[in-house]
């Protein structure tokens, strides 16, 4: 039976999820501690693939280690095989028939409920899994797994309502024009990174919100938090088959999915290298596809803080410490290059930056008081320490840090390197760790330095100008227009909020489809224009045909 449309429903106003602060003695600190204690007692968990709403135990096992104590595993998970991927595609296509025809208000209700499950019932479990599995402190986990994910769903619903409301301005006499926003034919492949639990939820959830079905391949380093995300989406009412959860060997699972004729789009967040490879692989399969696939990818960055001589030094230093080192520099938006005028650097900036950085406590992120946790895993540890070695070999001046210890967990101390070489290796390549490289410029070279920032890397993700002189802000804003998709003034380069600063960059940083905005939804719909005539033609010829 079809569902009647008996009203034009309005979705609730979207507000950002109120953040909890976890201060000593607060009820939220007690609740999170209890969730952590329980999770530590119960681990390791077993995680299956979820296909058509059913748990699939393939027996092909892999493990997600705890980065601050890598001998311990948070979960053992069952990897998807090519047969599981095939079943996931077939099941998703079958589920799509009902899902895309479901009235919008029903789909909206599912995601609004998911947001409330994140704010309430699942909050502390999601946070605990993100802290243990991805090495986040309580605050970093709160920003991500609670606030950002709830915001993605609540604001997403609002944006879809706005998208659907976009209708043709004009109707000729006797005609009614409409546009409907169809889901894409086929399925979306969502491939998510380790560093934000929320991004996994959004990569699979955003296409589903507009009626698509998705195969979700999570990062091997975020399996458990993403599995909980899938569970809450199911509890919220996402029907079986609409989001298939298929962890597994990345190359194999992804290659299988993108070789399907029904592959309709890639929703990717991760490194530039992998995204470029996938784009090329998709291109090689182009003749197989039923339609041109949509390719959306948000990727790496080499984000800058440019300090002008008129800047408030205390603010610039504090913002830089947070921007560079929070979550161990493993945010795509992390500040990893700092440009400071000589007068400020020698006039107290350097001392303040050093003394503030020295005060940072590094250790187990589930212990209150630690500001930094471990980096995510062996590969990241080796890559970051490799860059530290390269920087030492190239003659960088290490003013703090440069040391690391992987005996128990993957710990890298916050590191600051000063260089006189504007193309220094850690000034141009993405390190993705707690490593900040400083370039000190002559005060008179402000504009030249802005051009240097613009031209010296392939990326264009985030960046900040610190200045109190308006002219300096304007100059930097103009020169750096294409150097950052998220540009900040007297604010750090990290911490974009859904509904406030739509997120994404261009150049080698991504397709800039702006997660957390209406733009992303355009990428996962294919509009159909409908023209209905109410008055029949009485003749076929035009007045211009008369003589
Ligand atoms: N721009 C953004 O919004 C944004 C947000 C978060 C992270 N990032 C970027 O992500 C990177 C860190 O995340 P990561 O380490 O998880 O990235 P990654 O590229 O290593 O992995 C991302 C995803 O791709 C999969 N993958 C890896 N190799 C693959 C292959 N050969 N074929 C198919 N799939 C493959 C992984 O399993 C994972 O699911 C950084 O470069 C960071 O800047 C960007
Ligand atoms: N949106 C986040 C970064 C996400 C990528 O890692 C920020 O703005 O800091």
**Closest ligand 2 atom, CA of 199?**
4
* Measured distance CA(238)–CA(205) in Å, rounded: 9
Compute how many other C-beta atoms are within 10 angstroms of the C-beta atom of residue 338.
27
* Measured distance CA(250)–CA(504) in Å, rounded: 24
Residue 142, classified by CB atoms within 10 Å of its CB into exposed (0-12), middle (13-18) or buried (19+), is: buried
Long-range contacts from 36-42, C-beta under 8 angstroms, 24+ separation: 36/128, 36/131, 36/132, 36/366, 38/128, 39/125, 39/128, 39/129, 39/132, 40/132
Angle (nearest 5°) at CA 461 between 214 and 445: 175
Ligand 2 probe mutation, 139, 303, 332, 485, most atoms within 8 A of CB: 332
- How much is the pLDDT for 4? 83
Residue 240's nearest CA partner among 267, 210, 203, 213 is 213
Q: Write out the H or E segment, with its range, that includes residue 459.
A: strand 459-460
Ligand 2 probe mutation, 333, 488, 505, 513, most atoms within 8 A of CB: 333
- How much is the pLDDT for 476? 98
Q: Within 186-249, where are the H helices?
A: 197-209, 223-236
- How much is the pLDDT for 454? 98
Q: Which residues line ligand 2 (CB under 6 A)?
A: 195-196, 331-333, 494-496, 503
* Closest listed ligand to the CA of 331: 2
Three-state secondary structure of 382-442: HHHHHHHHHHHHCCCEEEECCCEECCCCCEECCEEEEECCCCCHHHHCCCCCCEEEEEEEC
* Measured distance CA(150)–CA(328) in Å, rounded: 24
Ligand 1 probe mutation, 130, 189, 193, most atoms within 8 A of CB: 193
> How far, in Å, from the CA of 220 to the mean position of ligand 1?
11
Q: Which domains does the chain have, with CATH numbers?
A: 27-163+172-299 (3.40.605.10), 303-489 (3.40.309.10)
> How far, in Å, from the CA of 388 to the mean position of ligand 2?
24
- 399 φ, ψ (degrees, to nearest 5): -95, -15
- How much is the pLDDT for 1? 58
Q: Which residues line ligand 1 (CB under 6 A)?
A: 191-196, 199, 217, 219-220, 250-251, 254, 269-271, 274, 277-278, 298-301, 332, 430, 432, 461, 504, 509-510
Q: With contact defined as beta carbons under 8 Å apart, do 124 and 32 qualify?
A: yes
- How much is the pLDDT for 3? 80
pTM (2 d.p.): 0.98
Looking up tokens 């190359």, which residue turns up? 251
Which 8-state DSSP code applies to residue 486? E
One-character DSSP codes across 304-366: EEEE-TTS-HHHHHHHHHHHHHGGGG-STT-EEEEEEEHHHIIIIIHHHHHHHHHT--BS-TT
3-class DSSP state for residue 145? helix
Looking up tokens 């995601």, which residue turns up? 111
Active-site annotation holds for 356: no
Residue 543, classified by CB atoms within 10 Å of its CB into exposed (0-12), middle (13-18) or buried (19+), is: exposed
Catalytic hit among 79, 298, 326, 430: 298
> Which residues lie across from 189 on neighbouring strands?
215, 266
* Measured distance CA(119)–CA(70) in Å, rounded: 30
Q: Write out the H or E segment, with its range, that includes residue 111.
A: helix 104-119
Per-residue pLDDT tens, the chain, 547 aa: give them. 578 889 999 999 999 999 999 999 999 999 999 999 999 999 999 999 999 999 999 999 999 999 999 999 999 999 999 999 999 999 999 999 999 999 999 999 999 999 999 999 999 999 999 999 999 999 999 999 999 999 999 999 999 999 999 999 999 999 999 999 999 999 999 999 999 999 999 999 999 999 999 999 999 999 999 999 999 999 999 999 999 999 999 999 999 999 999 999 999 999 999 999 999 999 999 999 999 999 999 999 999 999 999 999 999 999 999 999 999 999 999 999 999 999 999 999 999 999 999 999 999 999 999 999 999 999 999 999 999 999 999 999 999 999 999 999 999 999 999 999 999 999 999 999 999 999 999 999 999 999 999 999 999 999 999 999 999 999 999 999 999 999 999 999 999 999 999 999 999 999 999 999 999 999 999 999 999 999 999 999 999 999 9
Q: Write out the H or E segment, with its range, that includes residue 162.
A: helix 149-164
**Closest ligand 1 atom, CA of 220?**
37
């Amino acid at each position: 039976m079809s569902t009647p449309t008996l009203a034009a429903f309005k979705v609730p106003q979207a507000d950002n999820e109120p953040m909890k602060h976890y201060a000593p003695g607060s009820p939220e600190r007690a609740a999170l501690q209890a969730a952590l204690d329980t999770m530590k007692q119960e681990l390791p968990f077993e995680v299956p693939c979820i296909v058509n709403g059913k748990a699939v135990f393939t027996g092909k096992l892999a493990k997600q280690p705890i980065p601050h104590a890598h001998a311990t595993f948070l979960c053992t998970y069952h990897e998807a095989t090519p047969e599981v991927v095939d079943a996931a595609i077939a099941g998703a296509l079958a589920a799509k028939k009902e899902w895309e025809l479901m009235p919008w208000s029903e789909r909206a209700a599912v995601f609004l409920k998911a947001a409330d499950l994140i704010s309430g019932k699942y909050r502390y479990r999601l946070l605990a899994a993100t802290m243990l599995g991805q090495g986040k402190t309580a605050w970093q986990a709160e920003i991500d797994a609670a606030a950002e994910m709830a915001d993605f769903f609540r604001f997403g619903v609002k944006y879809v309502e706005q998208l659907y409301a976009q209708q043709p301005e004009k109707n000729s006499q006797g005609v009614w024009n409409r546009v409907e926003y169809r889901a894409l034919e086929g399925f979306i492949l969502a491939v998510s990174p380790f560093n934000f639990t929320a991004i996994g939820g959004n990569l699979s959830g955003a296409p589903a919100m507009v009626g698509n079905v998705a195969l979700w391949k999570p990062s091997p380093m975020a399996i458990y938090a993403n599995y909980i995300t899938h569970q809450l989406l199911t509890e919220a009412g996402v029907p079986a088959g609409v989001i298939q959860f298929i962890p597994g060997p990345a190359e194999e699972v992804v290659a299988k999915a993108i070789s399907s004729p029904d592959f309709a789009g890639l929703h990717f967040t991760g490194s530039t290298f992998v995204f470029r490879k996938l784009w090329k692989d998709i291109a090689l399969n182009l003749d197989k596809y039923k339609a041109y696939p949509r390719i959306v990818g948000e990727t790496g960055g080499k984000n800058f803080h440019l300090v002008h001589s008129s800047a408030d030094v205390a603010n610039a230093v504090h913002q830089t410490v947070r921007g560079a080192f929070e979550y161990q520099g493993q945010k795509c938006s992390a500040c990893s290059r700092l440009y400071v005028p000589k007068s400020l650097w020698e006039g107290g900036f350097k001392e303040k930056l050093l003394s503030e950085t020295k005060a940072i406590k590094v250790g187990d992120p589930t212990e209150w008081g630690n500001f930094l946790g471990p980096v995510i895993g062996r590969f990241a540890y080796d890559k970051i320490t490799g860059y530290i070695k390269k920087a030492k070999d190239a003659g960088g001046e290490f003013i703090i840090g440069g040391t690391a210890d992987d005996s128990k967990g993957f710990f890298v101390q916050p590191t600051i390197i000063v260089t006189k070489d504007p193309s220094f290796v850690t000034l141009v390549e993405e390190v993705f760790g707690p490593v900040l490289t400083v370039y000190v410029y002559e005060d008179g070279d402000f504009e030249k330095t802005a051009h240097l920032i613009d031209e010296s890397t392939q990326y264009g993700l985030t960046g900040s100008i610190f200045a109190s002189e308006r002219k300096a802000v304007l100059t930097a804003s103009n020169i750096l227009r294409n150097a950052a998709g998220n540009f900040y003034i007297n604010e750090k380069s990290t911490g974009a909020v859904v509904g406030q600063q739509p997120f994404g960059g261009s150049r080698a940083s991504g397709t800039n489809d702006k997660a957390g905005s209406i733009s992303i939804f355009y990428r996962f719909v294919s509009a159909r224009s409908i023209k209905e005539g109410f008055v029949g033609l009485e003749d076929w010829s035009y007045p211009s045909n008369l003589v």
